[in-house]
Amino acid sequence: MIARPLRLLLALLTAVVAVSALPGSAGAAPARAAAADHVVLLGIPGLTWADIDAKGTPGLAALAGHATSAAMSVRTVHARACPVDGWLTTGAGARSTDSRTGARSAEPCAEPVPPTLAPDGSATVPNMRAIVERNEDFGYNPRYGQLAGSVAEHGGAVTSVGPGAAYASADPSGRVRGAYLPDPAAVDTALIERSALTLVDLGGLTGPGVDRADRLRVVDAQVARIAAALPPRTQLVVAGLADDTGTPHLRALLVSGPGTAPGTTFGSGYLTATSTRNDGLVQLTDLAPSLLAPLGIDAPSALVGAVYTRAAGPFGGAAIDELRLFDAGAQASRTVREAWYFFTWVTLLPIVCAAIALWLAVRFARGGRTRARRTVIRTATVIGVFFGAVPGGSFLVGLVPWEQAGDPAWTLLGLTVAFAAVLAALALLGPWRRHPYGPAGVVAAATAVILAGDVMVGSPLQMNTLFGLSPLVAGRFYGFGNVAWTIFAMAVLLAVGWPVGRLLAADRRRAAIVVLSAVGAVAVVADGWPAFGSDFGGVLALIPGLAVLGLLLTGTRISWAKVGLVGLGAVVVIGTIAVLDWRRPAASRSHLGRFVQEILDGDAGDTLHRKIMGNLHSFTTPFTLIIPVVFVLLILAVRDPSKWRAPALARSFEAVPWLRSTLIACWLTAVVGYAVNDSGIQIPAVALTIAAPLAIAVIAAVAAPRPIRRGFESPPRAARPRAD
């Protein structure tokens, strides 16, 4: 017989999914009418918005005055996209890289190799076979030359100008589809009129002995000349489609002329795409389908990007300034993450928390002066609550335009600490402080509400924040990334354990089950629904955590049959969401619906292989090898604290009966999250950043020999452990 809490939780989750069914069906889209006769792409690897101004680049500045603009994430396979990477990705519509074997940002980029010309005028990229073989290791499944091939299949001519453009048009054998010309100087009105799609490599902005300012002036003159030569009904796209230095940046993208549908134009405003759900931000993989759209060609499923469209926004100097700030924010976030986040939160904090817990346990076991114990406990409580509030506080930074500060990196860090301090103060000073679990529970609840609310309104608080999304990493641009999901999942479990545990202690079992089921359903929908968190693996891990929490708190025996049922329920819920997402038009699908299409196309194996390899490759440092050991020790200590000589932990379980079950649910969710997501060991490590300090705060509060502050109640007398 299935336990009642488990039945109710699964039934409520199924009902929520059913009533939220998305409309539409996955039929073939009607034929698209052409909005333009010609599309011209001018590729300038390394071009940023900081390069464009009226004095140094008058041609680009004039174009920005009437074009639609965006910052473009050019992340491909490696952290830095070399020019060849950018052109390959543009032509294939999926992430790709050249044949280099390393991924270090300092490794020099290979210049595009000019194609070999045959007497009949055909061109061949000489190292294309090596590139194809190299990319088989990554699982992005690029279809080389797909962009040019799609135009040719619809009767259009393609012209590639310059060696980079040849890479975009080359098929897997290296043969360049369409005509090829080596020199951009040959681009004129007649050439553009002969082709539906013209790809032009204007070259990068850096190199040995190259002055960037001089090179910009040369490129700017070429842009102005070609823009003046455009025939009617021609869309012009200028893209900084790769990095040119060791530091990744968001690159410039400008589009002018006819829009993606008849009767529309690209004028002032921002570009936006469903792949990012952010006005003014698109991905490199959006280029290919967006170049096909104005020609009336629907993108084949092999192109993973989305068609960008025009959204409201500034133009000219105002747009340039805002997009510069966006890149400055991305750089500041990258700096803080690399210099502070990975060291402090993934390395230092778990060690500090473990040290505090050990010290408290030893101290209480041996006794000691009451005043010293009070001081240590007060300090441990404050530290635990504050550090547990940092993840939630870090997302509130998104409410402030911190990118405009003189030093965005320090401002980001300072505001994160400030908002964390505010949350910690609210938790430590409110009436809930009278219960040992109160401050930790409030921090967890606030964090869960902040993150759930954020994803439900489009994830505005996550971009470029410490634990949020990075357009430079480009793993995600909306919804829950793996780091934010981990924090959300831990916060939900730590928060819901409090009211459910108190209701069960008051013998209100039915009310406790309803609360757990309702909170769990809202959390799963916030996490998995395509319009919100759009998270596949997170749902698979969160549902088991919620179910086990309910079973443990209600004293229900856990069997393999129940474990299997919970797993099946998680698969059914996320599978249903994914299929409903797939039933929408292809351009509107999130990655959940696209994964269903990959299954139907037989390409899902590549995606799964990439995620599995990313998981395994997460063990990159000696510290990452320690995390599994720490997790094993933690679950052993939680199951039997007396055996591991942790009297403070044992006292906490007596005083706060739901604490053990909550920590087990958190542990299980982190472990399953590691198994089903591609961030690997990062997920258990991040779980420690919120669960460990809040657990320390509860343990310290329970261990207090007397009230820490006025009004702070010790555990009820019946639950108070005896003195050592």
Question: Residue 25's pLDDT is what?
Answer: 40
Question: Residue 372's pLDDT is what?
Answer: 63
What are the structure tokens assigned to 507, written together?
A: 């013998």
Per DSSP, the residues of 288-337 read: HHHHHGGGT-PPPTT--S---EEES---THHHHHHHHHHHHHHHHHHHHI
Question: Residue 445's pLDDT is what?
Answer: 97
Q: How confident is the model at residue 709 (pLDDT cuts 50, 70, 90)?
A: very low
What are the structure tokens assigned to 594, written together?
A: 């696209």
What are the structure tokens assigned to 648, written together?
A: 């403070």
Q: How confident is the model at residue 391 (pLDDT cuts 50, 70, 90)?
A: very high
The rounded mean pLDDT for the chain is: 84
The mean pLDDT value for 231-246 works out to 93
Could you tell me where in the chain the CATH 3.40.720.10 domains are found? 38-315
Q: Are 168 and 142 in contact (CB under 8 A)?
A: no
Q: Does 716 have pLDDT greater than 80?
A: no
Q: What's the pLDDT tens digit per position in 549-592?
A: 999 998 888 777 777 787 787 778 877 877 877 777 766 676 66
Question: Residue 711's pLDDT is what?
Answer: 38
The mean pLDDT value for 225-241 works out to 96
**What CATH code would you report for 38-315?**
3.40.720.10
Could you give the 3-state DSSP secondary structure of residue 494? helix
Judged on CB neighbours under 10 Å (0-12, 13-18, 19+), 205 is buried
The rounded distance, in Å, linking the Cα atoms of 356 and 476 is: 35
Parallel/antiparallel/unpaired status of strands 179-181 and 158-161:
parallel
Q: Does 106 have pLDDT greater than 60?
A: no
Q: What's the pLDDT tens digit per position in 307-354?
A: 999 998 887 788 899 999 999 999 999 888 877 555 555 556 655 665
The mean pLDDT value for 527-556 works out to 89
Q: Does 150 have pLDDT greater than 60?
A: yes
Q: Are 240 and 74 in contact (CB under 8 A)?
A: yes
Question: Between residues 2 and 400, which one has the greater pLDDT?
Answer: 400
The mean pLDDT value for 236-253 works out to 92
Q: How confident is the model at residue 21 (pLDDT cuts 50, 70, 90)?
A: very low
Q: What's the pLDDT tens digit per position in 495-529?
A: 999 999 999 989 999 999 999 999 999 999 999 88
Whole-prediction pTM: 0.85
Q: What's the pLDDT tens digit per position in 592-605?
A: 666 677 677 666 66
Q: How confident is the model at residue 261 (pLDDT cuts 50, 70, 90)?
A: confident
Phi and psi based region of residue 203 (left: phi greater than 0; alpha: psi -120 to 50; beta: remaining): left
The rounded distance, in Å, linking the Cα atoms of 327 and 308 is: 19
Q: Are 189 and 225 in contact (CB under 8 A)?
A: no
The mean pLDDT value for 134-154 works out to 91
Question: Residue 361's pLDDT is what?
Answer: 55
- Contacts for 7 with CB less than 8 Å, ≥ 6 apart: none
Q: Among 472-476, 534-538, 715-719, which is the least confidently predicted range?
A: 715-719
Question: Residue 591's pLDDT is what?
Answer: 63
Question: Residue 603's pLDDT is what?
Answer: 65
Per DSSP, the residues of 97-156 read: --S-S---TTSPPPPPPPPEEPTTS-EE-TTHHHHHHHHTTT-----TTHHHHHHHHTT-
Question: Residue 607's pLDDT is what?
Answer: 64
Could you give the 3-state DSSP secondary structure of residue 661? helix
The mean pLDDT value for 23-41 works out to 67
The rounded distance, in Å, linking the Cα atoms of 118 and 252 is: 35
Q: How far is CA 275 from CA 72, 474, 541, 705, in A?
A: 12, 11, 24, 55
- Contacts for 569 with CB less than 8 Å, ≥ 6 apart: 10, 13, 14, 543, 547
Could you give the 3-state DSSP secondary structure of residue 42? strand
Q: Does 633 have pLDDT greater than 80?
A: yes
Question: Residue 575's pLDDT is what?
Answer: 79
Q: Are 463 and 471 in contact (CB under 8 A)?
A: yes
Parallel/antiparallel/unpaired status of strands 234-239 and 250-258:
antiparallel
